Structure 1
Amino acid sequence: MSATRERLLAVGVTAAMVGALLSRRRVAQGLLALSRLASSAAASPTAPLSGCLYRYKHPSWPAPLQAFESPAAHAHRKYCVYIGGLTDGLLACSYVEALGAALDERGWSLVQPVLSSSYAGFGCSSLQRDADELAPLRHTHTHTHTLTTAAAQLLRHIADREEGDAEFALVGATPLSAGSHSTGCQDAVTLLRTAPPELRCRVRAAVLQAPVSDRESQTVEQDSDGSRGRLLAEAEAKLAAGEGEALLSQKYYGFVPISASRFASLVGRDGPDDLFSSDFTDERLAAKLGHMGLAGQRATAPSHPGLRTLFCFSGGDEYVPPSVDVPLLARRFVAAAGGAENGASALILAGASHNLAKPPRAAGEFVAAVCRTLDEI
């Protein structure tokens, strides 16, 4: 066993033993030095990410969800919630470990939620459901809950745990797998539009990594047999018949059962998932992204203390059609969010792939950009 693994094992065993006896806050204070050791080990590209896995649940939900918080023990009151894309769960992108270590150095904890839409669950879910699971309303009167609340519920869980003393940042990410794009970005946008004002006031930053249009990305993916058009027609017919939750006859990308409503949202025009398309007018983009700036937030949450939003584009994104002028689109997104005076900015990572797997420098440049954004709060 390597020295690094031995140190991490010692941290995990010690945290578990002490955690059985003491409260979370006392554990955080008492194990802070050990946490620093684990974070140092995690900075290695091959080291595992240490953390604490826990459940969170709304009273109306039939079962809890889970979140993984890093480092394993800390005294931070600031939390960066990392939201992956379709098919994603924990460790969605290759830079997550480095991001966790960099955040810890700046007094932020990294939180990775496992939503009901994670992995192959997205086909029967929605952006609103994700947002609810992250930041829901205080009172929910339905067992199905509208699912932007999972995200909201996570924020509320942490805020309640910290006795109201917590701030948040959102990083909407793009996944490692092909065919699944920037749903983490769409989740962040949806959460900041629909979560209760008291929770949105705690969100001080949002970083959208590769905010790509799912609809437009379909044009760069092969559809030699025309199945995409047939499935969209089937989905629209089911929606017209009031059968939006019915599954389509063919699985999405061959392995994910998908409902008519979710397929139409991802592939059709101007649905809930269609937030970043370049063919929208400036007015339509403002309607979709206007709340991503401070003025937009204060329109419904007047006491919001400030919001920084970074649209981070990949200059070599394989899911962006060649016809899209990425620098122009970046400027349009910033303008739609209210401009620099409202905390919005954009960055293009030259030559970077969709998920920042290449070139080798891309992931580090993105982590540095996240840190700069948080440092501006």
Structure 2
Amino acid sequence: MQIKASSSLARGQPGVLHHINPRLIAFEHTRGSRQKPHTLIFVGGLGDGLGTVEYLADLAEAFETTPWTIFNLNLSCSLGCWGMGRLGQDIDEIAACVRYVREYKEPFYGTGKVVIMGSSTGCQDVMHYINCPNPRPAHPIFDRDWVPIVRPPVDGAIMQSPVSDREGILYELEQGTERNSPEEMRAIYDQAVENAKNNTYEEGEEVDTVVPLSVTGRIGYGNFTPLSSRRFLSLTSPDSPEKPAEDDLFSSDLSDQRLAETFGMIGERGLLKGKLLALYSGRDQSVPPWVHKGALMNRWENAIDAGGKEFWDPRSLVIPNASHQLSDPDQTEPRRILVQRVTGYLYDTQRATS
């Protein structure tokens, strides 16, 4: 099938808007009345929301003759709210979507497969879902009245552009901008880290403080989205690689021990029934040139399969010439490869016995 890189969700897509709960929605890409028992739940990255990742149009087109539909999940931290989000809340909402999909589809179509897919920082959500304790640990401030949620297992997991936010911002600092030299940006960043560590919360340690927009605008985060000190420290993880923060899952300098605590815990948690497919972009703009993408993915494969069971999907690869979200004008071939890998992976997941 020929895929045009200019295809876009902006043209309009048929489907169903699902209200998973009063504050959580997902859009199911589906055409006609053909039964679709299997589901790909898609989670975007920082700043993404419904309809912002263009290659979903290609996947939706490829799914037309298959028993799969896409649920584009709109997390509470989607679009402009990512700076106040956290992975724990994200995976609670993904769990709610998984349960909803099963309850919604099984009475009509029988037991179907459910796969979760993340793009960019959405990969942190996918990894956190399948590797952290179940129920997850409570946050000492925001989960005081939280009722522990047991996450249901999923049949598969896909990560597209699983990049390091920390290494991305360090590369930004190294390059500098027209406005600020690398030395000036480093000084601004170091001061922001110090301020965030010294004043992470206020109002009796119950409310997030916010990094000034004048600061985030100068160091690569933009000056339109509020970014809490807590999430800033998680994304930038200034004490890495010795003490990586929650969001620092994919940096190239993390120790084997750290990978054992993340990728290596997937088998023990029992939340991934199938395999993990990782699709890294070969020309990802947010990845520094010092990162050897192939070697990094080999380390992930070794960590995830260290327990003896093979969780790494052999279709995983660095897609040649692919940009971060495959949205540039020259992405026809990378998008074709992505669709081919994802549909092949889902076909095998569909055939696998539970």
d(CA) in 2 for partners of 1:104, 1:331: 34
- Taking the aligned partners of 1:362 and 1:221, their CA distance within structure 2 comes to 25
Q: Does 2:30 align with 1:71?
A: yes
Match 1:274 to one of 248, 251, 261: 248
Equivalent pairs, count: 298
Tell me what 1:126 maps to. 86
In structure 2, C-alpha distance between the alignment counterparts of 1:235 and 1:44, rounded to whole Å: 41
Give the letter for the 1:233 counterpart: E
Cα displacement string for residues 323-364 of structure 1 (whole angstroms, at most 9, x for unaligned residues): 111110010111111169513032111121111124321111
The 1-side partners of 2:34 and 2:122 are apart by: 26
Q: Residue type of the partner of 1:320? A: V
Give the alignment partner of residue 340 of structure 2, picking from 349, 352, 368: 368
Alpha-carbon contact 2:99-2:152 (below 8 Å) kept: no
Long gaps (5+) in structure 1: 1-41, 58-62, 136-152, 174-181
Tell whether the 8 Å contact from 2:156 to 2:276 is kept in structure 1 after alignment. Answer: yes
CA contact (8 A) 1:244 1:259 kept: no
AA paired with 2:25? Q
* Equivalent in 187, 191, 199 of residue 238 of structure 1: 199
Find the partner of 1:171 among 88, 92, 117.
117
Give the whole-Å Cα distance in 1 for the aligned partners of 2:6 and 2:320: 25
Pairing 1:154–2:110 present: no
The 1:308–1:105 alpha-carbon spacing in structure 2 relative to 1, beyond 3 Å, is farther
Q: Which amino acid aligns with 2:160?
A: Q
Q: Which residue is equivalent to 1:31?
A: none
SS at match of 2:279: strand
Within the candidate set 336, 352, 356, 2:322 is matched to: 352
CA drift at 1:264? 0.4
Letter in 2 for 1:342: E
Q: Deviations over 1:10-60 (max 9, x none)?
A: xxxxxxxxxxxxxxxxxxxxxxxxxxxxxxxx9993653211012111xxx
Q: Pairwise mapping of residues 147-226 of structure 1 onto structure 2 (< 5 A)?
A: 153-163=96-106, 165-173=111-119, 182-194=120-132, 199-201=151-153, 203-222=154-173, 223=176, 224=180, 225-226=184-185
What is the DSSP-based 3-state SS (H/G/I as helix, E as strand, rest coil) of the residue aligned with 2:12? Answer: coil
Which deviates more from structure 2 when the two are superposed, residues 222-231 or residues 236-245? 236-245
Which of 244, 247, 257 is matched with 2:210 structurally? 247
For residues 367 and 230 of structure 1, the distance between their equivalents in structure 2, rounded to whole angstroms, comes to: 43
1:244–1:260 Cα contact (<8 Å) kept: no
1:240 to partner: Cα distance: 8.1
Are 1:95 and 1:364, in contact at CA under 8 Å, matched by a contact in 2?
no
Counterparts of 1:249 and 1:352 in 2: how far apart (Å)? 34
Residues 102 and 112 in structure 2, CA contact (< 8 A), matched pair in contact too? yes
Q: In structure 2, how many angstroms separate the alpha carbons of the residues matched to 1:300 and 1:308?
A: 14
Query: Structure 1 residues 219 and 198, CA, compared in 2 at 3 Å: closer, same or farther?
Result: closer
For 1:45, the aligned partner's letter is S
Letter in 2 for 1:236: K
In structure 2, what is the Cα distance between the partners aligned to 1:53 and 1:82? 14
Q: Which amino acid aligns with 2:211?
A: L
User: What's the C-alpha RMSD, in Å, of the aligned pairs?
Assistant: 2.6
Distance change >3 Å, CA 74–CA 316, structure 1 → 2 = same
| In 2, Cα distance between equivalents of 1:133 and 1:221 | 31
240 and 48 in structure 1: CA distance in 2 versus 1, 3 angstrom threshold? closer
Partner AA of 1:310 in structure 2: L
Displacement, 1:187?
0.8
What's the counterpart of residue 226 of structure 2? 257
- Normalising by structure 2, what TM-score? 0.77
In structure 2, runs of 5+ residues without a counterpart are 136-148, 350-354
Give yes or no for contact 1:311–1:333 (8 Å, CA) kept in 2: no
Q: Which of structures 1 and 2 has the larger relative contact order (alpha carbons within 8 angstroms, sep 6+)?
A: 2
Say if 2:259 is the partner of 1:285.
yes
**1:238-295 CA-partner distances (Å, limit 9, x unpaired):** 2388467222223541111111110000012311111001111122112111244xxx
> How far is 1:212 from its partner?
0.5
| Aligned residues of 2:46 and 2:78 also touching (Cα < 8 A) | yes
Secondary structure, in 3 states, of the residue corresponding to 1:342?
coil
Contact 1:117 1:124 in 2 (8 A): yes
Q: For 2:333 and 2:6, how far apart are their aligned partners in 1?
A: 15
TM-score, structure 1 length as denominator? 0.73
